[in-house]
Amino acid sequence: MSEKTVYPFGGSASHDDTRQKDKEVTGGKGANLAEMASIGLPVPPGFTITTEECVRYLQEGADFSDGLRSDVAKALTHIESAVGKSFGDSADPLLVSVRSGARVSMPGMMDTVLNLGLNDATVEGLATTSGDERFAWDSYRRFIQMYSDVVLGLDHGLFEEALEIAKEDNGFYADTELSADDWKTLVGEFKSIVEQEWGKPFPQDVNEQLWGAIRAVFDSWDSDRAKVYRRLNDIPADWGTAVNVQAMVFGNMGETSATGVAFTRDPATGERAYYGEYLINAQGEDVVAGIRTPQYLTKVARENAGAKPLSMEEAMPDAYGELARVFDLLENHYRDMQDIEFTVERGKLWMLQTRSGKRTAKAALKMAVEMVGEGLITKEEAVARVDPMALDQLLHPTLDPDAERSVLTTGLPASPGAASGKIVLDADTAEVFASRGDKVILVRVETSPEDIHGMHAAQGILTARGGMTSHAAVVARGMGRPCVSGASGVSIDRAGRTLRIGSQELKEGDEITLDGANGQVMLGIVPTVDPELAGDFGTLMEWADALRRMRVRTNAETPDDCRMARQFGAEGIGLCRTEHMFFDARRIRAVRQMILAEDEKTRLSALDQLLPEQRGDFAAIFEVMAGLPCTIRLLDPPLHEFLPHNDEDFEDLADATGLGVDHLKRRADELHEFNPMLGHRGCRLGITFPEIYEMQARAIFEAACAVQKSSGEAPLPEIMIPLVATRKELAILRALVDRVAKTVFEEQGTEVAYLVGTMIELPRAALMAGEIAEEGEFFSFGTNDLTQTTLGVSRDDSAKFLAPYVDKGIFARDPFVSLDVEGVGQLVDMAAESGRVTRPDIKLGICGEHGGDPASIAFCEEVNLDYVSASPYRVPIARLAAAQAALAAD
Ligand code: PEP
Ligand code: MG
């Protein structure tokens, strides 16, 4: 039997089929509506079309199956009998909402069409049954407006303009001043706009309306905005979205009706307090769209904000009491903070949505730790629940509390953190500025899903309108961008590219600072202080450390980075790229001399100058890493990267070496390579210019002996040979390193323990790993190069074409960001396995960028690596991800 395409919920529907509560099938919204209905909460009856139907529709060329058509018709009768109204009935019409609902909440897709089922006939019926003609015509014009925008794709500005003109003509300020007749006239105008712009009259057939909306939801899965969002959030293209069709309830039926959004705990701070906003006599979209400023949910929140309009707790105590009961019930049921949408229709509470609420990293930690304290969840659940990538938000500096602040205005503290940068007034400009390395603050009246790429490119977001649950606030929190919303002191002149903040006139490009924790907007750049790593963060990390098996090291090559990484919990260095040490202004001349030398004598004299510098570098690192293992990679990049770039460089070098500029240029030309990434680099340098590796090995051992003597804490140098393809390469270079070690130990009269090993970053090395392991005591998977060489995709050029690859689902994620487990992963698995067969105690780690990516870390756990190595700021992310991987493996 084929699986169901449609699942009814609410009313007398049964919710026993486990597929109905599976987000993969019915989407997050659909699954939770069914769940709420099954535990007896007041959910307006409706039905969910599965994500599978969306995928089928998109794959099979945008057509509905006959099965779907008849299942939807059947499910409609379920709603009709539950509410006792008929769809399209001109006397007492059933109206529905149509909403998308993917597995995870996804701004960028079609959101909502409300009041569907209204037409020239049913609007009269609604007027009669509601006893409110004005309400009926207002609902009809809202429907035309929304449907035209999201389903027919017409410019919503046209409708807003018509409304503004109608208000102006009548001398009205607010929508509430328009009468039934005014709305009726406007409906007429809206219909003419549709006919003119769309070429056909606004659909009067309610079934046509319904299928149009369903089609729009399905199509919106592949909209550009949705694709951008999917790419930024690693959502696979083949998930599809579900569609939820649900009986309307009305928050705009007068003063005893309301609509709102709420969180069971504060999503910004994690505080255990109900948190939310509501509007009396309004429809859901009014709250999120930021058109009217919403009121507080609780009395305490209103008082804290010094606001006048009554909170829901005060204005509607009965409905609020019921809502509070539902909050507790839902939190206990889901054992997590919930994000809820509700409507009160003439005093009766209806639940429209619940889901685990998006939260800032700070709030995620606080809630996870507190819920363990409350006995709601276990430590393992707490560790499993916090998104490792979200920790990034906490690891960055916050504004120095002692620094001077020139506060221009204050808005709502919508997403915490400090952000400074140049003002930009639209998303595209934000991207342009950011691509040339500028830090920017995106300033908008309000944001919409079209702005997502600009929000991503920005350090922070400032909006003039919108509440704590506006688009800007929700998306910024999800992205971890600081955001100040609803800053009414901001007025923007987009045409002139200028703005006023408070009393200050500013222009695009001027610098401001945001404090997302208190809503302040400041002039200029305000200094920052380092993050607080104790408290909830420390507690959760302690739990994570106790649960993980893999060690976490860092990729670092300066003492400062090493110090930072240790503060973040690094347990060693997994990759010290020594080439970065060569770029120092003082050294580059000697490096160039070394490279361009035509004989060994000149090369050795240049290396003699570099030796004490390198020794100093390593000694400083070993001191910071006291006693911990430090993997130091010998020189890797193609030599030409160090060559002089311009005439000035050449002249400078000619002065230093006594060689002519022409001579040097000819030598530089000789070093030119067509494919440097596959050229004279890695261990090939060590094979052809052994003096370079000898100098580096000497610097490492001399530094290690010195630190051992001075501090008594010997580091464990792990000397790593890059880009090895054959056993012989490693054998030759290992012999070189051992020889230098022996000489230095004799000279110094002391010895330190050390290892010699290799990177596995070429397919041949992975294939021959069993043999290579005979020469090396450790493998570190260089998955950047291994990805490049396995896929035959240049890591430096891939950005241009990988995005469409991800959009088309060829890769679920950029393989340079998240390991291609199926392909490259096989090589890693195989090499690890055969390495272990040869040398059972071989140390195995990863030092490519993937070492800081949670999904790749999960793979490293599966293939039993000993450690992962990540850049300093990613170390905590890796610690948490390693713990989650260990939990998943149990
Ligand atoms: C790698 O190739 O994965 C690696 C860590 O080395 P690099 O990025 O320096 O080439
Ligand atoms: Mg490499």
Q: Are 803 and 829 in contact (CB under 8 A)?
A: no
DSSP conformational letter for 634: P
Could you tell me which residues come within 8 angstroms of residue 845 by beta carbon, excluding any fewer than 6 positions away?
A: 551, 553, 574, 631, 778, 779, 780, 781, 851, 865, 866, 867, 868, 869
- The confidence band for 239, taking pLDDT boundaries of 50, 70 and 90, is very high
Distance 781 CA to ligand 2 centre (A): 9
Structure tokens at 602: 């000149």
| pTM value > 0.85 | no
157-177: per-residue pLDDT in tens? 899 899 888 888 888 877 778
Is 839's pLDDT higher than 60? Answer: yes
pLDDT at 480: 67
**CB-CB neighbours of 709 under 10 Å:** 13
Lowest model confidence (mean pLDDT) among 135-149, 171-185, 205-219: 171-185
Closest residue to atom 8 of ligand 1, CA basis:
784
Percent of the chain whose predicted confidence (pLDDT) is above 90: 67
pLDDT value at 40 more than 70 = yes
For ligand 1, mutation pick of 555, 557, 575, 819 (most atoms within 8 Å of CB): 575
Confidence of residue 262 (pLDDT cuts 50, 70, 90): very high
The rounded percent of the chain whose pLDDT value lies above 70 is 98
Least confident among 295-309, 393-407, 702-716: 393-407
Tell me, what's the pLDDT at 804?
A: 83
User: Is residue 78 annotated as part of the catalytic site, yes or no?
Assistant: no
Looking at the predicted structure, is the pLDDT value of residue 290 above 60? no
Q: What is the pLDDT of residues 502-521, one digit of tens each?
A: 999 999 999 999 998 788 99
pLDDT at 291: 61
Give residue 287's pLDDT.
65
Backbone angles phi, psi at 803, to 5 degrees: -60, -50
Least confident of 97-101, 440-444, 684-688, 872-876: 872-876
471 is annotated as an active-site residue:
yes
What are the tens digits of pLDDT across the range 819-836? 999 999 999 999 999 999
CA dihedral 687, 688, 692, 698 (to 10 degrees): 40
Q: What are phi and psi of 3, to 5 degrees?
A: -70, 155
- Determine the pLDDT at residue 288: 61
- Which residues surround the ion ligand 2 when the cut-off is CB under 5 Å? 761, 782, 785
Residue 669 identity = D
pLDDT band for position 1 (cuts 50, 70, 90): very low
What is the C-alpha to C-alpha distance for residues 890 and 886, in angstroms, rounded to an integer? Answer: 6
Please check whether residue 449 is in contact with residue 108, taking contact to mean a CB–CB distance below 8 angstroms. Answer: yes
Atom of ligand 1 nearest to the CA of 782: 3
For 156-187, give the DSSP string: HHHHHHHHHHHHHHHT--SGGG--HHHHHHHH
For 830-875, where are the E strands, in sequence order? Answer: 843-846, 867-870
pLDDT at 644 over 90: no
pLDDT of residue 469: 64
How remote is the CA of residue 759 from the centroid of ligand 1, in Å?
A: 9
CA separation for the pair 246, 34 (Å, rounded): 12
Residue 84: predicted pLDDT: 95
Checking if the pLDDT of 218 tops 50, the result is: yes
Ligand 1 binding residues, C-beta < 6 A? 575, 577, 636, 761, 782-785, 847-848
- Give the pLDDT confidence score for residue 97 in this predicted structure: 96
State the distance from the centre of ligand 1 to the C-alpha of 797, rounded, in angstroms: 16
Quick one: average pLDDT of 232-242?
A: 88
Give the model confidence (pLDDT) of 46-69 as tens digits: 999 999 999 999 988 878 888 899
pLDDT exceeds cutoff 90 at 225: no
Report pLDDT digits (tens) over 766-793.
Answer: 999 999 999 999 999 999 999 999 999 9
CB 517 within 8 A of CB 398: yes
Q: What is the Rg, in whole angstroms, of the alpha carbon atoms belonging to the chain?
A: 32
> Which pLDDT does position 530 carry in this prediction?
75
Q: What is the mean pLDDT of residues 486-496?
A: 89
Tell me the domains of the chain and their CATH numbers: 258-359 (3.30.470.20), 397-529 (3.50.30.10), 578-758 (3.20.20.60), 761-890 (3.20.20.60)
Rounded to 5°, the CA angle 643-648-652 comes to 75
- Of 15, 78, 456, 471, the catalytic one is 471
Quick one: pLDDT at residue 173? 77
**Cα–Cα dist 412/641, whole Å:** 49
Three-state DSSP class for residue 346:
coil
d(C-alpha 643, C-alpha 620), whole Å:
27
Ordered DSSP codes for 28-85: HHHHHHHHHHHTT-----EEEE-HHHHHHHHHTTS---HHHHHHHHHHHHHHHHHHT-
pLDDT tens sequence across 346-366 = 999 999 999 998 888 889 999
- What's the rounded mean pLDDT across residues 726-733? 98
